[in-house]
Amino acid sequence: MHSSDSSPRQTTLSHSSSNSVADAVSNSVSKPQETGKAPINWTNMILFTVTPALAVTLVPAYGWFEGYDAFEWSMFAVMMVFCGMSITAGYHRLWSHKTYEAHAAIRFLFALGGAFALQNDVLNWASDHRRHHQHVDNNDHDPYSAGRGFWFSHIGWILRHYDSAKDDFSNVKDLQRDPIVMWQHRNYLLLVLVMNIGLPAFIGLLHGDIIAGLLLGGLLRLVLSQHATYFINSLAHMWGTRPYSDNSSARDNTLLALITYGEGYHNYHHTFQWDYRNGIRWWHFDPTKWLIHSLERVGLASGLKRCAPDKIERAKLERQFQLAAQKCEHLAVEGDWRSRLEAEYEAILHTVQQWAEHRQAWYEAKGKELQEHLSHLEKQQLKAHYLEFKYKLKLQKQRWQLVVQTLATPEPRIA
C-alpha cells in the first residue's frame, strides 16, 4: 500500500480486499507512487498463482489414486456455502450496506466464515466495497473498476499495490463500534489459520483422511469460493442486462446468481443498494435473501430494509422510456413519436402513483392499530380501491409495453 502507517496489516485476498498475507504479520512499508505499472504485491501474486495450480493438480491426483467419498464431498459443499453466505449475507449485505441488523451470534459466525473465505477482515472489505459504490467505474477511485478491464476487476487489482485500493477507514467508523468486527480485525491472521487449515484438517481427522479434508475443504474450496466472488466484480459489470439504471456498468445476470448466492442481480443492487434483497421476485434465485428472511423469522435478524415497490416500478419505467427513445432516434422513426411516448410515460407514472397510494392505505389498514379504528366496511373499501388500481396498473403496463415495442419499429402504428 502507498502508506507509511506502521500498524499491522491484514490479509487481502478477495472481492473487497487490497493487501497481502504478509501485511498481516509485518509492519507496512511505504510503496513508491505509481509510475507506469503499480508495484507487484508479491505475496498475493504467489498465493494466487500457487493455490489454483495446486488445486488443479493435487486435488484430481489424490482423487484418482485414493478417491473421495460422499462425506468428504458433502463437507466441501457445506464449507463452500458457509464461506459464500458469510460474505454475501455478512460482509456485504449486513456490514457493508447495513440492510438489516443481526444477533451477535450470527455476526460471530459471519466473522469466522469471512476469515474462512480468506477475503480480508470486515473493516478492509467493507471499506473497499463502500468506496466501490461511491466511485463505481471511476478508474482512479474505484478499487476494482470494471472500466479497467475484466482481468483488473476480477483479480488484477489485488496483485499490485494500486492507489485506488489504498487504506482509508474513514468510511467504516460505524463498524469500528462493533466489538465483533474489531475482535476479528485484531485476530484475523489466527482466524485464517484456524479456519483454513485447522478446521478442514480436524474434520478430515475425525473422518479418517486428513489429506482429503485439506484438499477438498481447504484448497479446492478456497480457490472456487474466491473466484466465484470475483465474478461479481468482473462479469457482473460486463455481462447481463440493465433494467433499472445505466448509471453504472453493473448488470443483472441470473446465471451468475446461481454461483454467487443471489448476488448476480447486480444492476438492481447498485440501483437500490440499501435493499436486503438482490433478487426481488419470488422466482429469483437469492439464497442470501432467504437466509436473512429466515433469520428474521426466528428472531436472529431485524430491521430488514426493502425498497418501496413504486420506486422500483418508476426506475424500470424510466429505463424503458430511455431505451425506447434511443431506439426511435437510432431508427429515425418518423412522426410525433416523442410526444406519444411521453404521453404514455406520464400516464403510467400517474397510475403507479395512484397504485402506490392505495397500496399504502390498504397495508396500513391491515395493521393492528388501524384495524381497531376502522370499520369492516371501510377496510373493504380500501382493499377494493387497492385491487382496482392494481388491476389498472396491470392494464397500463400492457399498453406501455405495446407502445414501446411499436415505436421501436421503422413505421410505428399506435391504436
pLDDT interval class at 326 (50, 70, 90): confident
Burial letters 273-285, b for 16+ CB under 10 A, else e: bebbbbbbeeebb
Query: With a threshold of 0.95, does the pTM exceed it?
Result: no
**Residues 252 and 76: beta-carbon distance below 8 Å:** no
Does the pLDDT of residue 8 top 90, yes or no?
Answer: no
Average pLDDT over residues 228-249: 94
Does the pLDDT of residue 331 top 90, yes or no?
Answer: no
Average pLDDT over residues 99-109: 98
**Residues 29 and 6: beta-carbon distance below 8 Å:** no
Tell me which of 252, 283, 302 is where a domain ends.
302
Whether residues 296 and 315 share a domain: the answer is no
pLDDT for 21: 37
pLDDT for 6: 33
pLDDT for 334: 58
Instruction: Specify if 123 maps to a domain.
Output: yes
Whether residues 368 and 341 share a domain: the answer is yes
pLDDT for 251: 96
Whether residues 257 and 296 share a domain: the answer is yes
Whether residues 72 and 164 share a domain: the answer is yes
Average pLDDT over residues 102-127: 96
Nearest C-alpha neighbor of 92 from the set 222, 265, 308: 265
Tell me which of 261, 282, 302 is where a domain ends.
302
- The x, y and z cell numbers of residue 293, run together, are 428472511
pLDDT for 391: 66
Tell me which of 302, 337, 367 is where a domain ends.
302
Count of helix runs (H) and strand runs (E) in the chain:
17, 2
Does the pLDDT of residue 106 top 90, yes or no?
Answer: yes
Q: Determine what percent of the chain is predicted with pLDDT higher than 70.
A: 76
pLDDT for 412: 42
In order of 193, 337, 357, 402, 407, the CA distances from 343 in angstroms are: 62, 10, 21, 14, 13
Does the pLDDT of residue 23 top 50, yes or no?
Answer: no
Whether residues 233 and 334 share a domain: the answer is no
Instruction: Specify if 12 maps to a domain.
Output: no
**Residues 337 and 328: beta-carbon distance below 8 Å:** yes
Does the pLDDT of residue 340 top 90, yes or no?
Answer: no
Average pLDDT over residues 102-114: 98
| Residues of the domain holding 317 | 309-407
pLDDT interval class at 396 (50, 70, 90): low
| SS3 state at 241 | strand
Element housing 101 (H / E): strand 101-102
pLDDT for 162: 82
Q: Determine what percent of the chain is predicted with pLDDT higher than 90.
A: 60
Rounded Cα distance between 135 and 145, Å, is: 9
Whether residues 67 and 95 share a domain: the answer is yes
Q: Which residue has the cell 422510456?
A: 321
Q: Which residue has the higher pLDDT, 323 or 77?
A: 77
- Hey, what's the torsion of the CAs at 234, 240, 246, 250, to 10 degrees? -30
pLDDT interval class at 313 (50, 70, 90): confident
Taking the chain, what is the end-to-end CA distance rounded to the nearest angstrom? 63
pLDDT for 36: 59
pLDDT for 205: 97
Whether residues 155 and 254 share a domain: the answer is yes
Which tens digits make up the pLDDT trace of 178-231?
999 999 999 999 999 999 999 999 999 999 999 999 999 999 999 999 999 999
| SS3 state at 192 | helix
